Amino acid sequence: MRLNHRYDLRDMLGAAGATVSGSGGSGRSELFGRIGSIKTRLPGSVQRRLPSDVPSGLLFVAYVATAFVALGGIVQAVGEPDAVPVILIGVFYVAAGLAGLWFGSNLFVVVPATLLWLLAGQASLFSSRPSYSWALAFGGCSAVGLWVGIRSVIRDRVNVRRSSRASDAATNQLGWDLYKLSTEAPHTDERLSGMAVYPDLRVGELQRHFDQTTSAAIQGGMEHAFRLQGWTQELHNLPGGWFDTASHTSLGGGGVSTVQLGMTGTVADELTGEAFVAVFEQTASVDTIRAVVPSERQVRVYVGQLLAAWSARLAANPKADLMTRRYAGAIMNAVSSDSSYVGDRLNAMLRLPAAERPTVTVIGEPLDHHAILVGAVRFGSTGPLYQLFPIALVRAIVALIEGRPMPPQPPSPLPPANSTIDAGSEPEGAELQSIPAASNGHILGLDIRTLGGLHITAAGEDLTSALLDRKVLSFLWLHLLARTLRNPTDSITRSSLADELSPGLDSSAQRSRLRGRLSELRNELPAALGRRVKVERERISLDLADCTIDVRELEDVGRTYGSSNGILTSEQLAQLDAVLKGVQGIFLTEWDEIELHVNSGRSGAGEVVNDLRKVTDSAISALLRTLGAGYLAHGNAEGAIAPLERALAITPDDDRAARSLSAACVQTGRLSRAEELRKEFSLV
């Protein structure tokens, strides 16, 4: 490298000289100690840019020397002829040194600085007046730059590999944690940290709230008409004009737009999507606790929103995001709540005198001093634990979101006070082999009549007595029937059904007795009945997909005629009259006797039956009122009397049925009955 200057680059850089200083210390450790003490007294911004190891320290010295030597060369070159190129080169080296001091070991500074040192060393070695000392100095700086650069590249690659391995390990651990949560949600019980436990409470008030589904449709159309009118005139051969043809057009218009819109909608209660708020009274003191229990659907929605928010935060980590999405659905499906059963059980307790109501243990997250979000409920002091809001699951998910290990879960359920188990009892799940799903083999379809008395047939064979003669088995089968009719997708947990069957026993004895009874359902009932009971892990349900049931037929008839407002044809009147003559009496009249025999009416199973009785009575009453209105519209007041009287007997507060019945009585000459109705319902 040569310069158009009477001095070589070696001369320019060498003019500044070198500063040599001794350590003045008594040893290496003393030197490092002094340097460390000086470093601690510097500002934080300066400390972050000082070297922290030997390679960085040598690179720091090289940057300082480069800046000082280049600055000295610039000072020496000032005033010399042809100094501009030398000054520019010096400025370039000074900038490289200062950038190195500021950015340290960053490769985008180390690489250019190393190239500059190599060029300077070459210039010192191959100039007209070679300087081996400067060549050696610049060569040393170049070696330090190469050392730091290679070391940085290797270190970055090692860090990337370590980070990748750590990320893979963390993602793998996350997958196992999520898989564990998806297969078995952690239980909430008394030993979960931070839980509020209220033992020996008695229910004093219950407000039940059912989830609702809304469906709606909007229909409409628009019609538009537009009309144009006008005239055109042409003039030919006008004298003295500049043109021989003229035309004039005038247009007029008018339009009419018509828009017709209509909206229809229905709101239906999901009778198993039950949330409730209960007020419990403490027996030890005059105080109350308000317990809040969301429905199972609401709980699943909350868990789904929590997982979705977590997935959105993991967008920068595709592997963890994919792992979260993979198990989110399974975790949501693993969430189960006994809110429907617990609500039925508490409602049954409210029918008892206050002093005779069993005590309840409530476990949950405090909302304030007198309110609690209920995670679990225990009836009595040793009964099974019924899961409501999944506090333990939510805490585990929050721990994973925050990067903490999931909190260890205590064994659940708690060991019962009496650990005695019936002799010869089967292990948990033994009945699964004896009760396959209904899809394993052909099962005869059932015709089930429940209104006014139970009657079950399969292929013409009467199976009613085969079921009702076994009180305990009929209790289980009819309870599952009622739950399925209330909601076709409903199921009940094993612990809940065991407590329904044997309230008052400890949990191990309850589950042992249930195992035996579920096995008897398969072995001692006709296959058309027993094989419809489905046991899937902790959930038990009844498969009625191919069965004909009068309650379902009643629902279909209600959907067909419910919106007719009494406007029916003669054929429809005859069909509706025939249907209503076939539905007499309340739903499952045998249930009360069976429940009293099995558990003395102490369970909450009767609430499910009572719900269906209210629903069926309301549906029958509405159809009877529609039938009576239809007869009146056809001028058959005599035919309207019987259905309207029956409707009023089922729902005594139905003023619409009373009004129609009063009109029918006036038309048929039953004036005393009409006057009685007018006074009772204040009819005008």
Residue 439 burial (10 A CB sphere; 0-12, 13-18, 19+): exposed
Determine contact, residues 664/648, Cβ cutoff 8 Å.
no
The mean pLDDT of 657-684, rounded to a whole number, is 88
Split at pLDDT 50, 70, 90, the class of 439 is: very low
pTM metric for this prediction? 0.50
Distance, in Å, from the CA atom of 537 to the CA atom of 621, rounded to the nearest integer, reads: 41
Q: Find, among 88, 94, 87, 86, the residue nearest to 70 by Cα.
A: 94
Spell 43-67 as b/e; 16+ CB within 10 A means b.
eeeeeeeebeeebbebbbebbebbb
Q: Which residue has the higher pLDDT, 201 or 121?
A: 201
Distance, in Å, from the CA atom of 103 to the CA atom of 14, rounded to the nearest integer, reads: 26
Eight-class DSSP state of 570: H
Distance, in Å, from the CA atom of 173 to the CA atom of 188, rounded to the nearest integer, reads: 23
Query: Which strands form 447-449's sheet, in the order they lie side by side?
Result: 461-462, 455-458, 447-449, 548-549
Eight-class DSSP state of 194: T
Task: Quick: pLDDT tens for 601-631.
Answer: 777 778 888 889 999 999 999 999 999 888 8
What the block records as the tokens of 330 is: 């399974």
Split at pLDDT 50, 70, 90, the class of 24 is: very low
The mean pLDDT of 20-39, rounded to a whole number, is 50
Q: Which residue has the higher pLDDT, 242 or 540?
A: 540
Confidence (pLDDT) at 172:
79
Spell 564-602 as b/e; 16+ CB within 10 A means b.
eebebeeebbeebbebbeebeebbbeebeebbeebbeeb
Split at pLDDT 50, 70, 90, the class of 6 is: very low
Task: Quick: pLDDT tens for 385-409.
Answer: 888 899 999 998 998 888 887 665 5
For residue 585, is it left (φ>0), alpha (ψ between -120 and 50) or beta?
left
Residue 479 burial (10 A CB sphere; 0-12, 13-18, 19+): buried
What the block records as the tokens of 650 is: 């089922």
Distance, in Å, from the CA atom of 508 to the CA atom of 519, rounded to the nearest integer, reads: 17
Chain centroid to CA 322: 17
The highest-confidence range among 70-74, 99-103, 232-236, 588-592, by mean pLDDT, is 588-592
Q: Find, among 653, 676, 655, 680, the residue nearest to 666 by Cα.
A: 676
Split at pLDDT 50, 70, 90, the class of 432 is: very low
Which CATH number is 552-681's, of 1.10.10, 1.25.40, 3.50.40, 1.10.357?
A: 1.25.40
Determine contact, residues 563/610, Cβ cutoff 8 Å.
no
Q: Tell me the sheet residues that pair with 360.
A: 201, 379
pLDDT of residue 20 exceeding 80: no
Query: What sections of 382-492 are H helices per DSSP?
Result: 391-401, 464-468, 471-486
Its sign, for the CA torsion 156, 161, 162, 166, is positive
Query: Does CATH place domain 187-212+268-407 in 2.40.50.110?
Result: yes
Q: Tell me the sheet residues that pair with 461.
A: 458
The mean pLDDT of 35-58, rounded to a whole number, is 61
Confidence (pLDDT) at 587:
93
Distance, in Å, from the CA atom of 551 to the CA atom of 560, rounded to the nearest integer, reads: 14
Contacts with 117 (C-beta within 8 Å, 6 or more apart), sequence order: 62, 66, 138, 139, 141, 142, 145
Determine contact, residues 27/82, Cβ cutoff 8 Å.
no
Residue 538 burial (10 A CB sphere; 0-12, 13-18, 19+): middle
pLDDT of residue 269 exceeding 60: no
What the block records as the tokens of 472 is: 């305990």
Task: Give the pairing of strands 533-536 and 371-379.
Answer: unpaired
Percent of the chain clearing pLDDT 70 (strictly above): 68
Confidence (pLDDT) at 381:
76
Neighbours of 491 (CB within 10 A): 20
The mean pLDDT of 330-359, rounded to a whole number, is 85
What the block records as the tokens of 247 is: 């035309």
Confidence (pLDDT) at 125:
67
| Average pLDDT over all residues of the chain | 75
Task: Give the pairing of strands 288-293 and 371-379.
Answer: parallel
Confidence (pLDDT) at 190:
84
Q: Find, among 191, 170, 181, the residue nearest to 406 by Cα.
A: 181
Confidence (pLDDT) at 363:
92
pLDDT of residue 221 exceeding 60: no
Rg, C-alpha atoms of the chain = 45
Q: Tell me the sheet residues that pair with 377.
A: 362, 386
Of the given ranges (100-114, 183-197, 434-448), which has the lowest mean pLDDT?
Answer: 434-448
pLDDT of residue 502 exceeding 70: yes
Measure the CA angle with vertex 678, ends 672 and 681; round to 5°: 135
Split at pLDDT 50, 70, 90, the class of 41 is: low
Extents of the domains making up the chain: 9-156, 187-212+268-407, 446-547, 552-681
Neighbours of 410 (CB within 10 A): 15
Confidence (pLDDT) at 229:
55
Element (H, E) at 432: none
pLDDT of residue 209 exceeding 90: no
Neighbours of 396 (CB within 10 A): 23
Q: Which residue has the higher pLDDT, 122 or 532?
A: 532
Q: What is 446-547's CATH number?
A: 1.10.10.10
The single-letter code of the amino acid at 291 is A
pLDDT of residue 72 exceeding 70: no
Determine contact, residues 272/340, Cβ cutoff 8 Å.
yes
Of the given ranges (353-367, 492-506, 517-531), which has the lowest mean pLDDT?
Answer: 492-506
The mean pLDDT of 245-257, rounded to a whole number, is 53
Neighbours of 418 (CB within 10 A): 12
Split at pLDDT 50, 70, 90, the class of 2 is: very low
Split at pLDDT 50, 70, 90, the class of 590 is: very high
Task: Quick: pLDDT tens for 124-183.
Answer: 667 666 766 666 766 677 777 777 777 777 777 777 777 777 777 777 778 888 888 887
Element (H, E) at 233: strand 196-236
Confidence (pLDDT) at 258:
57
